[in-house]
Structure 1
């Protein structure tokens, strides 16, 4: 009668923590991102509501400042896990 072969015990097993983040988000990440996004949006809205007189009397550079705040918030959000 034929005898079955025994299986090798040295079979590779993948680690169980694949795909899980190594660490949590820093505590400052979400508040900083939300603050930058809100400040940028508020800056642009105030600029348009006050007919380009506020927040600073520098003309269309106010739009640039608002978009820099928005962009900064988006850059910070790229670190969110």
Structure 2
């Protein structure tokens, strides 16, 4: 029985005029201050919450009352925002 002929497929090459600069721009590394700032915000947020709870809600700022929780969790959420930009 004769063997069938093997067809060679064309290799796909994307056109060069479709967003050539966008691929190179996304590979740029992030600045060195981003991970350090994010870790500092996490530590500050956790420390703020720990001090708030251990001081029976009198420290860091007694007049803010439950807004101290917003400050602590806000620092941690801000650090997540920074870490999402880290490459």
TM-score, length of structure 2 as denominator length:
0.69
2:34 to 26, 29, 35: 29
2:81 to 61, 75, 78: 75
Structure 1: segments with no counterpart, 5+ residues: 1-6
Question: Residue 38 in 1 paired to residue 20 in 2?
Answer: no
Q: Deviation of residue 60 (structure 1)?
A: 0.9
User: Alignment RMSD, CA only?
Assistant: 2.4
Q: Deviation of residue 37 (structure 1)?
A: 0.7
Q: Deviation of residue 80 (structure 1)?
A: 1.4
Question: Which structure 1 residue ranges, 4+ long, deviate > 3 Å from structure 2?
Answer: 10-14
Q: Which has the higher helix share?
A: 2
TM-score, length of structure 1 as denominator length:
0.73
* Residues paired across the two proteins, number: 70
Residue number in structure 2 paired with 1:60: 66
Structure 2: segments with no counterpart, 5+ residues: 1-7, 15-22
